[in-house]
Amino acid sequence: MGLEMAEVAMEVEDVFSIAVSEGSPIMPRVGDLNSFILLQLSARNWDRKPGVPEPKWTEAEVWKRLLEIICLTFPVPPESITKETRFVEDLGAG
């Protein structure tokens, strides 16, 4: 995992309170990471302790926040990023 992807992973972990580790599935496209986040958030709802409120994220909110994270790491405007955008080939992740 390159430095840029490590930065994205750490920010995703902080923002969404999920784990993105070296053992996570390979996510070559932005849409893959978006789907991974949604899946982790969905799975977390099953493990929630009674009485502990869990922040709810809509798909649109996850996408918007993910774009913000990516744009902080890579010098690209958010409108240039789609779910098909590739981290290495399109954004230059090393």
- Of 66 and 20, the structure prediction assigns the larger pLDDT to 66
Q: What are phi and psi of 87, to 5 degrees?
A: -60, -45
Rounded to a whole number, what is the distance in angstroms from the first to the last CA of the chain? 8
Q: Does 87 map to a domain?
A: no
Q: Does 94 map to a domain?
A: no
- Domain containing 34: what range? 3-47+55-80
Region 57-83 average pLDDT: 96
Number of structural domains (the chain) is 1
Percent of the chain whose predicted confidence (pLDDT) is above 70: 87
Region 35-64 average pLDDT: 79
Nearest to 6 by CA among 89, 87, 90, 76: 87
